[in-house]
Amino acid sequence: MPRYLFDQIRSTQDYAFNLYQQDETKYQLRLGERVWIQALSQTHGTGKGERVWHSPYGNFYGSVLIPYQGPGVFLALLGALSIVDVLQQLYNLEVFLKWPNDIWHQNTKIAGILGQILENNTGLLGMGVNLNSDPEIKTQYATSTVKQTTGIECDIEAFWQCLDQALPRRVLQIQENFQGFYEELHDVLLWKGQEVFVQTSDKIVTGILHGICEKGGVMLKINNFVQSFPALKLARTWEDMSQFHNQPQ
């Protein structure tokens, strides 16, 4: 299993994508195979959209090429459940998935995941987890670290080793038992059963968050009927929705 480990690079996600483009046939991965790119710090970490993932030393920053034949919209969610597995296993930390690609503890963001479908049934996952160092930046939502929450100084290498074991299990599950994977997503879905605001391509709707639909969007219960929306943004309050801008992380 190749692993590229750097002290500091521009972006693990950019490096992984460029590595794949250099020789796509080399990375026609079989089940269980993966290629890791990891850095102790990034100068221009890749966040969602055009946002920058602030990357001080002390946290986990990694991208991984994996074999993937599941629904494209669920690739980032696969990474999210893998991180949930590790945080629960190593630190007994109760965390939740904030659709579509963040991990939260209580009311703070602790991790983010990006998913990108490539050719040859290959997926590229980028993951940033605040283990020891709080980015301390002004964002729409507060950030925190595992260390702040648990009082434990996190071992980045131990975290990676555990994640490297969790990820192939989730890849196998999404291919062989998608229903089980789908149900587990709902077990950790943030704000499930609460009123939320959803931004679609042309409007903002509100309703009770019912779950994630099988196309990867969100399901809202509105006037006792469950409807699916190809959402662009999910927020707990109207104020949060209106404050959504192009911010770091």
Q: Give the whole-angstrom CA distance, residue 178 versus residue 119.
A: 22
- 46 pLDDT higher than 80: no
pLDDT of amino acid 182: 92
Same domain, 100 and 133: yes
Same domain, 106 and 200: no
Same domain, 14 and 38: yes
Give the pLDDT mean for 13-31: 83
Whether 16 is in a domain gets the answer: yes
- b/e 60-76 (16+ beta carbons within 10 angstroms → b): bbbbbbbbbebbebbbb
Q: How sure is the predictor about 78, in pLDDT bands with cuts at 50, 70 and 90?
A: very high
Q: Give the whole-angstrom CA distance, residue 167 versus residue 58.
A: 22
Same domain, 136 and 25: yes
Amino acid, res. 216: G
pLDDT of amino acid 139: 63
Residue 39 and residue 128 in contact, taking contact as beta carbons nearer than 8 Å:
no
The reply to whether omega before 100 is within 30° of 0 (cis) is yes
Same domain, 179 and 211: no
Q: Give the whole-angstrom CA distance, residue 107 versus residue 3.
A: 34
Sequence-ordered list of residues with C-beta below 8 angstroms from that of 49, at least 6 positions apart, any chain: 246
Same domain, 104 and 83: yes
Give the pLDDT mean for 100-121: 91
Strands (DSSP E) found in 169-217: 195-199, 204-212
Largest CA distance in the chain: 53
Strand partners, 60: 129
Q: How sure is the predictor about 202, in pLDDT bands with cuts at 50, 70 and 90?
A: confident
Give the chain's domain count: 2
pLDDT of amino acid 52: 60
Q: Which of 187, 218, 234 is the last residue of a domain?
A: 187
Same domain, 167 and 238: no
Give the pLDDT mean for 18-25: 82
Give the pLDDT mean for 49-65: 81
